[in-house]
A and B are shown apart, each in its own frame.
Chain A
């Protein structure tokens, strides 16, 4: 069947998570191009309301598994639910969020179905493919696009002979957009009688401590981001000062996070958060493709870098060639003076 199936995650408050609505928005677009239906699977406890949350995003069919054993998330009970829906519906494409849940569940599903799974895609498109060896042609298969390996390449991955074509996508990479507030789909309860008993016993949750996110760079309209070139955790304080002054948040590259300059929650890029702020100030960031994938849709970009040839400069609106430690204090002074 030419259908697209999205595995939907639930928030702590039992609502459909943003990442899943982003995937539904993308899935709607793919399903329309494929002349198919957009399907969603939701597994949880007391989740009948989920269908109404999903319809506006263009979901045609919602499969609901409602059982106390399905919340909070555990691998095997959710695995059984997804397998049942996939085996019954035989979707062409299946999408998961690249979250702690999706990255736990999707590989297990792909392994059972013996199909491919592309992690952390930054774009999903339909396209054709001709196998150079066999000459066999494939029409409208999923092109799973992701930056790969050490920097400056982008790979297009395909799984021509296997269905469903499976991919995970990080939160924020796709846009969440209501298709039609009055869109109506159908909801079906998944018959899970019997299939959870063994899965329920495998892993026991003894305690959970979930904290509200204190850092929200995804929603920030101004981001001051630092790379390895900032040099130290102490120097990163200047980024916080500037962000505080102009009403922004601090972000970082993976290299800066790995070096311990900044908390992992602030990481921007393919394996971090994708942001689209009004202003992005890149401090000491060279601009590897994985980082740019997470910020290149920023409206205005300022790059501050000692290296005039840094790749980030090519996508910057303003380039300041200089040392971050010298430029940032000057910028803060100039900002304050301009406001007088």
Chain B
């Protein structure tokens, strides 16, 4: 059996648990340079599913693609140490300020550049936006089917994949022929750890980078220029202060509070 050609789309994201005051630019876009970054969690689940396919079908080649600042190269080296074959950072100021539409267009051009890809994996969504749009949009740009919310890999052969999807109120097992896009949820199997020998071999090794010219896009459709959505304004949230009543954590005060709530038929 011939091995498959897989691309994993991964994103380096700001660690939204550690957001500082200078996180936003004046124009309302994210100041990525000012934030600590992590491997987008669901993209790690996606990488794991790709590596499971590689485990089952010998000769499969897994390429990880990330779009972002040059420092996103750690996504590639981390992925390779966990078992991916290669990868590159797609980095270019012309790609900056992109919304999901311009992002998915650039990524679809990158997948085309890799060429003859059977399967594209990505996380369901990234923690810095939670939009879950890029996977389906990449699928549309490539004009191929999509399977979203994938949780478990059931079966894969040289021409199709079968997965279980996690829906809001149940599950669905589906099969799609290649090529197709699969987005993976955080409830899927966590990613395997880096292999010690791969870490030693690849740590600090140079990571390939590509710029906008390499992926041959229509320059009108990338970056801020290719983004239909604009941020009109950003507001700091002003809380409408209620007349908040302080209740001491004592039996007396709490008893009075419960008495009031009962009397008002609230509880």
Contacts and interface: CB of A to CB of B under 8 A. Distances in A.
Interface of A: 12, 72, 75-76, 99-100, 103-108, 110-112, 114-120, 129, 143, 147-162, 202-213, 222, 246-247, 271, 278-279, 289, 292, 299-302, 311, 313-323, 326-327, 330-331, 333-335, 337-339
B170 A335 contact: no
Contacts of B261: 279, 300
B130 interface: yes
Given A119-B133, A155-B234, A202-B176, A314 B241 contact: yes
A110 B99 CA distance: 12
Contacts of B147: 203
Contacts of A99: 168
A322 B243 CA distance: 19
A112 B228 CA distance: 13
Given A108-B146, A319-B247, A321-B249, A150 B266 contact: no
B233 A318 contact: no
Nearest to B14: A150
A317 B172 contact: no
Contacts of B230: 157-160
A99 B133 CA distance: 12
Contacts of B240: 314-315
A317 B170 contact: no
A245 B266 CA distance: 13
Nearest to A119: B131
Contact of A116 (B30, B99, B128, B132): B99
B62 interface: no
Contacts of A301: 242
Nearest to B140: A111
B132 A103 contact: yes
Question: Dominant SS at the B interface?
Answer: mixed
A152 B237 contact: yes
Contacts of B133: 103, 106-107, 110, 117, 119
A204 B174 contact: yes
A10 to B, nearest CB: 13
Contact of A149 (B24, B135, B149): B24
B213 interface: no
Question: What are the 4 A-B residue pairs with the smallest beta carbon separation, nearest first?
Answer: A322-B249, A150-B19, A116-B229, A210-B170
Contacts of B1: none
Nearest to B262: A338
Contacts of B148: 75, 100, 103-104
Contacts of B259: 338
Given A150-B16, A278-B266, A330 B28 contact: no
B132 A155 contact: no
A108 B137 contact: yes
Contact of A320 (B104, B137, B227, B249): B249
Given A155-B231, A334-B258, A338-B255, A313 B236 contact: no
Contacts of A333: 251
Nearest to A336: B258
B177 A202 contact: yes
B267 A279 contact: yes
A327 B44 CA distance: 40
B23 interface: yes
A156 B16 contact: no
B255 to A, nearest CB: 4
A331 B261 CA distance: 12
Contact of A117 (B100, B135, B255): B100
Contact of B254 (A103, A107, A334): A334
B197 interface: no
A301 B245 CA distance: 11
Contacts of A212: 169
Nearest to B28: A155
Given A208-B170, A317-B244, 5 more contacts: A104-B146, A156-B231, A159-B229, A211-B169, A327-B254
Interface in B100-124: 100-101, 104
